Amino acid sequence: MGVATALNFQPTSSGKCAITADFVLTADEVNPVIKALRDGGVEVTALHSHMLGEDPRLFFMHFRANDDVATLAGTLRAALGHLKVRAPGA
């Protein structure tokens, strides 16, 4: 149904990689995730909705960056920490 979070990594040069990703977020997750990504130097390229009248309302955030692998991993971890997801069985 296209409501999954996807992270893509591609090595680009020594110790660096490019990332592109799509996050599916609820309204209260949007601003904290954008802040975490921007604080880490990640460019948010789009924020929009694909559906009408869904509950909860879902937003799709697309972003990209090319930086040091460890820096990007830390930034993504910080952003993912704002998603209200539970592990299976939790």
- In the chain, the domains with their CATH numbers are 6-80 (3.30.70.260)
Q: pLDDT for 20-47, tens place per residue?
A: 999 999 999 999 999 999 999 999 999 9
Backbone angles phi, psi at 6, to 5 degrees: -125, 135
pLDDT at 61: 95
The pTM for the full model equals: 0.86
Task: Report the mean per-residue pLDDT for the chain.
Answer: 90
Distance CA 21, CA 44 (A): 10
Residue 17 pLDDT > 90: yes
User: Encoding tokens for residue 81?
Assistant: 């920490």
